[in-house]
């Protein structure tokens, strides 16, 4: 892989992150109600409740502690403080209502969001590859037509509607699954079977809802496979007497999956953003629910930190897809004229 290609892609990733931090700063200042003034009012209200007073200098220091920005400084100084604290120190500020570092809150929740997101992606795309391949081999059959109709119908139903239906029928009506939380309070946390079973059990409905996002890839897999089935090299393989299983896996399956690889990597970012709604529906305490709570409580440092985290995940996923696609598909010359 060409070094200049890696440098170019890495530079694009860094510029995207810099642009995101810059945008979040100006969004912070453009928000209605002046976040800095809102924070000052919260601090003054808390001080009044406790029977104490806060002078202007101390008030500005507290605002700077939460937001990494001195509100009494010029805009360019505030931008430098904000930018340097995030990029150089990885300090996203302090949550107003949790009174904890934003980074700590995000990293406490992100393993749970990653668990259900990656779990859903793997299930959704694995099923789509399997179903799409079978549909291609049975092209124009009853199975192909019925499966296509079902997949088109599923793609037209938003995943959050699926989530609500799952809660109603499987959690409320039949009590087969819990409709909230991430683990049962009756099990002991740790590396033990009951705890891990409880995690999987509580994640089942959110994962099933989010995995609907990956099933649309079955139609893509079918189209890729049908196109490859008509290639000349496949006929040559059949004339050579190669086994059908080898042709299906090494010739058809491998080449049909390649275009879906980038979709899978970018889909990781998409499914993280969908976690905001899914976690709120299922009361699943991940980063998505944390971000939703930040919106509800106008916790601006936490909201901006979550935005930067989601963007970072997106950029990393796309960057990994860019630098690894050349290894996955040897036909692609990374950094070439058609990059």
Q: How many domains does the chain have?
A: 1
Q: State the DSSP code for 31.
A: S
- 7-21, 116-130, 160-174, 223-237: lowest mean pLDDT where? 223-237
Q: State the DSSP code for 252.
A: I
Question: Residue holding tokens 């997949």?
Answer: 151
Task: Enumerate residues 6+ apart whose C-beta is below 8 A from 234.
Answer: 228, 247, 251, 252
Tell me whether residue 26 is in a domain. no
230-257 pLDDT per residue, tens? 778 878 887 888 887 777 777 777 777 7
The Cα–Cα gap between 136 and 242 comes to: 19
The secondary structure of 90-120, three-state, reads CCCCECCCCCCEHHHHHHHHHHHHHHHHHHH
CB-count exposure of residue 262 (10 Å: 0-12, 13-18, 19+): middle
Tell me whether residue 68 is in a domain. no
* Mean pLDDT, range 111-130, rounded to an integer: 86
State residue 15's pLDDT score. Answer: 93
* Mean pLDDT, range 133-159, rounded to an integer: 86
Q: CA 174 → CA 52, 160, 168, 312, distances in Å?
A: 53, 20, 8, 40
Tell me whether residue 270 is in a domain. yes
For 246, other C-beta atoms within 10 Å of its C-beta total 11
276 closest CA partner among 162, 121, 113: 113
* Mean pLDDT, range 202-218, rounded to an integer: 85
**What tokens appear for 329 in the block?**
């598909």
27-45 pLDDT per residue, tens? 877 776 666 777 777 777 7
Tell me whether residue 164 is in a domain. yes
Tell me whether residue 125 is in a domain. yes
Tell me whether residue 240 is in a domain. yes
The Cα–Cα gap between 154 and 128 comes to: 12
* Mean pLDDT, range 70-92, rounded to an integer: 86
**What is the span of the domain harbouring residue 132?**
103-299
The Cα–Cα gap between 82 and 93 comes to: 9
* Mean pLDDT, range 114-137, rounded to an integer: 86
Question: Residue holding tokens 């934003």?
Answer: 102
Tell me whether residue 135 is in a domain. yes
Is the whole-model pTM more than 0.85?
Answer: no
pLDDT grade for 146, boundaries at 50, 70 and 90:
very high
Q: Is the pLDDT score of 339 beyond 50?
A: no
Task: Enumerate residues 6+ apart whose C-beta is below 8 A from 167.
Answer: 179, 205, 281, 282
**What tokens appear for 202 in the block?**
């509580």
- Are the C-beta atoms of residues 310 and 272 closer than 8 Å to each other? yes
Write the CATH number for 274. 1.10.3720.10
Tell me whether residue 13 is in a domain. no
State residue 104's pLDDT score. Answer: 92
- DSSP string computed for 172-240: IIS-SS-SS-SS-TTS--SSSHHHHHHHHHHHHHHHHHHHHHHHTHHHHHHHHHHHHHT-HHHHHHHHT
């Amino acid at each position: 892989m060409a070094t200049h290609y890696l440098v170019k892609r890495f530079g694009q990733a860094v510029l995207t992150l810099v642009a995101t931090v810059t945008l979040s700063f100006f969004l912070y200042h453009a928000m209605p109600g002046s976040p800095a003034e809102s924070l000052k009012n919260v601090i003054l209200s808390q001080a009044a409740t406790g029977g104490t007073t806060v002078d202007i200098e101390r008030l500005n220091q507290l605002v700077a502690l939460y937001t990494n920005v001195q509100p009494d400084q010029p805009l360019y100084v505030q931008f430098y403080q904000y930018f340097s604290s995030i990029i150089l120190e990885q300090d996203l500020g302090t949550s107003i209502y949790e009174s904890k570092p934003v980074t700590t809150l995000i990293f406490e929740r992100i393993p749970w969001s990653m668990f259900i997101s990656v779990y859903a992606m793997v299930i959704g795309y694995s099923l789509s590859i399997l179903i799409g391949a079978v549909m291609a081999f049975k092209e124009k059959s009853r199975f192909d037509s019925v499966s296509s109709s079902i997949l088109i119908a599923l793609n037209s139903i938003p995943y959050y509607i699926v989530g609500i239906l799952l809660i109603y029928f499987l959690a409320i009506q039949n009590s087969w699954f819990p409709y909230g939380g991430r683990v049962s309070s009756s099990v002991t946390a740790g590396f033990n079977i009951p705890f891990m079973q409880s995690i999987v059990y509580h994640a089942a409905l959110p994962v099933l809802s989010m995995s609907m996002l990956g099933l649309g890839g079955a139609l893509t897999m079918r189209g890729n496979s049908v196109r490859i089935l008509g290639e000349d090299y496949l006929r040559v393989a059949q004339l050579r007497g190669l086994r059908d299983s080898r042709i299906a896996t090494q010739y058809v399956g491998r080449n049909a999956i390649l275009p879906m690889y980038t979709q899978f990597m970018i889909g990781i970012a998409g499914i993280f953003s969908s976690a905001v709604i899914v976690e709120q529906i299922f009361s699943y305490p991940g980063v998505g629910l944390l971000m939703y709570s930040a919106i509800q409580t106008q916790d601006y440092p936490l909201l901006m930190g979550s935005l930067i985290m989601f963007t970072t995940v997106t950029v990393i996923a796309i960057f990994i897809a860019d630098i690894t696609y050349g290894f996955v598909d040897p036909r692609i010359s990374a950094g070439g004229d058609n990059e």
